[in-house]
Amino acid sequence: MATKRTMTLNLTDAEMQVLEELSRKKDLTKTAILRQALRLYQLLDVRMERGEKMYLEDESKGEKSEVMVL
């Protein structure tokens, strides 16, 4: 495993609640959830910079919407 560094993260109660819920739901530590989020964010950013688009689709309603990432 790569060398790791520690940082302090300030979250609101709501943000911490979501982190804890995801941690429980995905059976991952909070650190692992944030690491996954960062990996996904980078992946999406790289692909969107290439000009690719990301969509969310609800097949039952026949709806498709483009996702924008900041």
Partner 1 sequence: MSNDSIVQIIRRSDGSFVDANLVRGVKPQDLLIVEREWIADRTDILHELLDKGVARENWPQSLHWNWQRKAPELTLLAACGLGVVCERQWQGVMMTKSAPYVARLGADRGQPLIYIDYIETAPRNWPIPEIGCKGVFRGIGSLLFWEAVRQSREEGFHGRIGLHALPQAEVFYQQACQMTPLGHDAAKQNLLYFELSRQQAERLFQARGEQ
Binding residues for partner 1 (CB under 8 A): 1-2, 26-29, 32, 36, 38-40, 42-43, 46
| Residue nearer to partner 1 on the CB measure, 13 or 55 | 55
Gap between the Cα atoms of 21 and 15, Å rounded: 10
Q: How far is the CB of 24 from partner 1 (least distance, A)?
A: 12
SS3 content of the chain, % helix, strand, coil (to 5): 50, 15, 35
- Cα–Cα nearest to 39, from 31, 8, 3, 49: 31
Q: How far is the CB of 41 from partner 1 (least distance, A)?
A: 9
Q: How far is the CB of 32 from partner 1 (least distance, A)?
A: 4
